[in-house]
Each structure stands twice: as C-alpha cells, then as structure tokens.
Amino acid sequence: MNVKGKSFLTLKDFTSEEINGYLDLADELRTRKRNREKVTGCEGKNVALIFEKTSTRTRCAFEVAAHDLGMGTTYLDPSASQIGKKESIPDTARVLGRMFDGIEYRGYGQEIVEQLAQYSGVPVFNGLTNEYHPTQMLADMLTIRDHFGYLKGIRMTYMGDARYNTGNSLMIVCSKMGLHFVCCAPKKYWPNEELREICAGYAEESGATLTFTEDVTEGTKNADVISTDVWVSMGEPDEIWEERINDLLPYQVNKACMANAAEGAIFLHCLPSFHDLNTGIGRKISEKFGLSEMEVTDEVFESAQSRVFEEAENRMHTIKAVMYAALSEEQ
Ligand code: CP
Ligand code: NVA
C-alpha cells in the first residue's frame, strides 16, 4: 500500500487492497503497542485537530495515536478558532498547511474536508462529517476481522438511520470489501440513490450484495453482525427526536433481532449510545417520551455478543495506521 501524502476523506477514494492495507497496519501497530515497541518514522511532525462537533473516541484516538508516534497535536475546538466565522476554509487551510504536517477535521459538510485537502497541501483526515465517518469504518472492519477472522461474505445488517455518516460509510466499506450489507430501516432513512448506485458498482466487483428492507425479521435473519447508531446525530435539531422515535423505534436492536441473527452474531455501535438512563439526553428523552433505551436495548448492549468496547479501542489503532501511512518517512 502506498498512500503516503494522501488525504483520508472517504473510503470511496480507496481500493479494497488499500483498505486491507490499513487494517493490516493497524493490527501490526496494535501488537507493537502491546509489546511496548516504539514506532519510528513520524517523530517531530505535528497534526492539527479541528473539532467543530464534540467527540470522545475520535479526539482521544488521534491524540494518543499521535503521541505514540512521537507527533505533536494542537486541538482546535469550535469556540477557540476563527474557522468559518472570521476566516474561510481555504484561508484556514493555507495557514494550517504551513504549520502542520496533517490536519484532522470533524464537523459539517464533506465539502469542508475536501477544501481543507485542496488548499492546505498536507494530508487531511476526516474525523466525521455529515456524510461520512471513514475512520470509524476501519475500526468496525478490524473488529469484525478480529472476531470472525475474515471479512468477505460476512452478513452485516445496519438498523436505524442509514442515510447519515455511519450508515453511508458502512454501505461503502461493505460493498468494497465483499460483505453483504443489509440496510434495515424505513425507506426514508436509506442512503440516497446516487450513493446506492455507486456502491452497487463496488459490490459487483467485490462479490458483495446490497439489500434494502423495511422488514425487521427479513433484515436481521442470519446476520453475522448487527450494527446501529444514534437516531439523532450531532448538529440535527432537538425537535426531530419525536419523529425519529416514531419512525425508528421498530428498528431498535433488541434481543429478538439478535436471536433472529446467525449463531455467534455480534453487535457493533460506533458509540456514544443511548441504551440506559445514565446520560442527560437519555433522561430528558425518557421524561418526554417514556423511553428508557433507544437504538439498542441495554440487554443487547451489555450482552456477551456486544463488541462495542473492542470496536472503540480499535479506533485508536486504525487512526494510528491512517496517520502513519500518510506521514511516516520510513515506509
Ligand atoms: N464513534 C465516535 O466517533 O465517537 P466520538 O463521537 O466520541 O468521537
Ligand atoms: N451519526 C452520529 C455518529 C457519532 C459518532 C453523529 O453524527 O452524531
């Protein structure tokens, strides 16, 4: 794999060999970290971390990974920078490109990461936009590969809001890597037609299949992996909760879904998740709508089938692979 100097904006830009290359590299870097081996090649470089939306995993993954590789990081939160308000994205990109070796961006439209990449002249890493969440996909694929030993032929069912960053990206990575992707959601939450067509092309090449269904029994039948995400994403208005609950409650991942899945099936979730009343938003929703768990029941979240914390750890190893592959001088 040679992706040195290349931005990581969406997995549409990468071949299945390259995606496998990232996974192999992440696996190797994970082993080296566990053996407390130093990884050289990136020391002294600096990465800017722009977060226009909040984060626990992605920010920590970039910071720990950069630190492990001997790199410096500068964290810019929405209130601490001029981005978009007093300074345009092209201007910001040209400034940061002169100071940093790489830029991570989490925020709104995909066009922002594209502009950052175009104008900064350094690799840009997409830490989540409205449309895509590509670093999450590497962690998901690594977690599946860790568990099953392979990716091709795995049946992956995604339930809930499939027309946003996580659903879109999961369809892309599954169709590239030869997994059978099942979108189990009301029709208005399916990924848009243009992206579905692009992915159908990838699937033809990889042997993947793409299925779209509103039927939960059909959608979860024989799934090897069932995955979901929050029903209301960052940046969406609070008023949308009622509609989302009405539309998506039938697509909650519960014990019946897991029982209908293949034997040995696992549950994944990018997190954070509303599976109990231990969050402020969870409690507010409970008071208003009487729901104590949302996209996944606490029973499934806490079950032995749940691999969500392995998945969260893999964010760090895979993000380290993305930065190493783009920035290391020793490859
Ligand atoms: N999964 C994920 O991106 O988590 P954060 O929002 O905490 O970064
Ligand atoms: N779809 C979610 C993903 C969070 C990691 C969001 O955009 O808020």
Burial class (CB in 10 A: 0-12, 13-18, 19+), 29: buried
Question: Are 289 and 319 part of one and the same domain?
Answer: no
Q: In what order do the strands lie in the sheet with 180-184?
A: 210-213, 180-184, 155-159, 225-228, 266-269
Question: Are 69 and 93 part of one and the same domain?
Answer: yes
C-beta of residue 74 within 8 angstroms of C-beta of residue 100: yes
The per-residue pLDDT for range 103-148, each reduced to its tens digit, is 999 999 999 999 999 999 999 999 999 999 999 999 999 999 999 9
- The rounded Cα 192 to chain-centroid distance in angstroms is 18
Residue 205 in domain: yes
Residue 5 in domain: no
Residue type, 21: G
User: What residues are labeled active site?
Assistant: 106, 133, 136, 229, 270, 315
Question: Are 19 and 125 part of one and the same domain?
Answer: yes
Q: Outline where the chain has alpha helix (H).
A: 16-34, 57-68, 89-99, 110-120, 134-148, 165-177, 193-206, 216-220, 241-248, 255-260, 280-289, 298-301, 308-327
When pLDDT is averaged across residues 88-117 and rounded to a whole number, the result is 97
The per-residue pLDDT for range 30-69, each reduced to its tens digit, is 999 999 999 999 999 999 999 999 999 999 999 999 999 9
Residue 51 in domain: yes
pLDDT score at 81: 72
Q: What is the position in ligand 2's atom list of the atom closest to the CA of 232?
A: 8
Question: Are 252 and 322 part of one and the same domain?
Answer: no
Question: Are 279 and 176 part of one and the same domain?
Answer: yes
The per-residue pLDDT for range 305-331, each reduced to its tens digit, is 999 999 999 999 999 999 999 999 998
Question: Are 128 and 231 part of one and the same domain?
Answer: no
pLDDT score at 244: 98
Mean pLDDT of the chain: 97
Residue 146 in domain: no
What is the full DSSP assignment across 97-143?
Answer: HHH-SEEEEESS-HHHHHHHHHHH-S-EEES--SS--HHHHHHHHHH
Q: What is the position in ligand 2's atom list of the atom closest to the CA of 234?
A: 8
Question: Are 213 and 237 part of one and the same domain?
Answer: yes
Q: Which of 128, 137, 274 to mutate to test the pocket of ligand 1 (most atoms within 8 A of CB)?
A: 128
Interval between CA 230 and ligand 2 midpoint (Å): 7
**What domain count does the chain have?**
2
Range of the domain at 45: 11-132+315-327
Residue 31 in domain: yes
Q: Return the bridge partners of 75, or none.
A: 49
**CB-based burial, 166-205: b 16+ in 10 Å, e otherwise:** bbbbbbbbbbbbbbbbbbbbeeebbbeeebbeebeebbee
Interval between CA 205 and ligand 1 midpoint (Å): 31
Reported confidence tier of residue 85, pLDDT bands at 50, 70, 90: confident
Q: What is the pTM of this model?
A: 0.98
When pLDDT is averaged across residues 240-253 and rounded to a whole number, the result is 98
229 lines ligand 2 (CB under 6 A): yes
pLDDT score at 88: 92
Residue 60 in domain: yes
The per-residue pLDDT for range 278-300, each reduced to its tens digit, is 999 999 999 999 999 999 999 99
Q: What is the position in ligand 1's atom list of the atom closest to the CA of 133?
A: 3
Cα–Cα distance between 231 and 163 in angstroms, integer? 11
Residue 74 in domain: yes
Q: Map residue 272 onto helix, strand or coil.
A: coil
Question: Are 212 and 288 part of one and the same domain?
Answer: yes
Question: Are 294 and 319 part of one and the same domain?
Answer: no
When pLDDT is averaged across residues 195-219 and rounded to a whole number, the result is 98
When pLDDT is averaged across residues 202-213 and rounded to a whole number, the result is 98
**Torsion over CA: 115, 118, 124, 125 (sign):** positive
C-beta of residue 141 within 8 angstroms of C-beta of residue 19: yes
Could you tell me the CA-to-CA distances from 85 to 52, 92, 233 in Å, in that order? 12, 11, 22
Residue 272 in domain: yes
Cα–Cα distance between 242 and 4 in angstroms, integer? 45
DSSP structure class, residue 87: B
Cα–Cα distance between 234 and 109 in angstroms, integer? 12
Question: Are 202 and 87 part of one and the same domain?
Answer: no
Question: Are 81 and 58 part of one and the same domain?
Answer: yes
Cα–Cα distance between 99 and 278 in angstroms, integer? 41
CATH number at 193 reads 3.40.50.1370
164 lines ligand 2 (CB under 6 A): yes
Cα–Cα distance between 218 and 221 in angstroms, integer? 5
**Which of 88-92, 98-102, 184-188 is predicted with the least confidence, judged by mean pLDDT?**
88-92
pLDDT score at 275: 96
Question: Are 160 and 296 part of one and the same domain?
Answer: yes
pLDDT score at 193: 98
Strands 210-213 and 180-184: parallel
Cis peptide before 272 (omega within 30 of 0): yes
pLDDT score at 84: 77
